Structure 1
């Protein structure tokens, strides 16, 4: 995922937390903040040390980034997202992470319907 597609600075994270809407399931909490001037969505990740050691945390982050790239065409482009992983995410496969995130994105209303 390109650097310009990531939420990096603390001020940006805090803006999404304070002004954004949150939706959650058992594995993830997603905060979404609409930004009209953006042409692409941005992702910020937070994986606590409670999830596991560094290897496990990095694996969860890789799976989340992969899922976001997989669903790139289906996500609304003008949003900042902060995704917080919960404990069950540590034991999930990449496909399960993608399915769980799709579920949360659909609940939050940022999932664009696929036209067949």
Structure 2
């Protein structure tokens, strides 16, 4: 993933947590906020130590990055998105993680080819 697509600073994570919207399922939590001044989305990944050892956490992060890479053309630009992995992700393969992630993005209207978020509720 290119540097311009990443959220790395703690202040940016905290601002997204405080000012953004959140949505979750059993495997993942998504925090997102719109940023009008950027022309592409950015992602931040968080996988806590409760999930497992470093190998497990890195595998989950690789799967999430790969999922974003595959979904990149469909994700709306001008959003900061923070993904927090929950405990059930340790038992999932990359395909299941991608399916869970795309479901959350669809439900929140962050994919380009989806209806408006308000029409889903």
Question: Aligning the two structures, in what range does the TM-score lie when normalised by the shorter sequence?
Answer: over 0.9
TM-score, L = length of structure 1: 0.96
Aligned pairs (5 A) from 1:17-96: 17-96=17-96
TM-superposed CA distance for 1:60, in Å, is: 0.2
Cα root mean square deviation, aligned: 0.9
How far is the alpha carbon of 1:78 from its aligned partner? 0.6
The structure with higher relative contact order (CA 8 Å, sep 6+) is 1
| Counterparts of 2:104 and 2:24, CA distance in 1 | 6
Runs of 4+ aligned structure 1 residues displaced above 2 Å come to none
1:107: which partner in 2? 107
How many residues end up aligned between the 2 structures?
A: 114
5+ residue gaps in structure 1? Answer: none
After superposition, the C-alpha distances for 1:64-91 in whole angstroms (9 at most, x for unaligned) are: 0000000001111110000000001111
Extract unaligned runs of 5+ from structure 2: 115-121
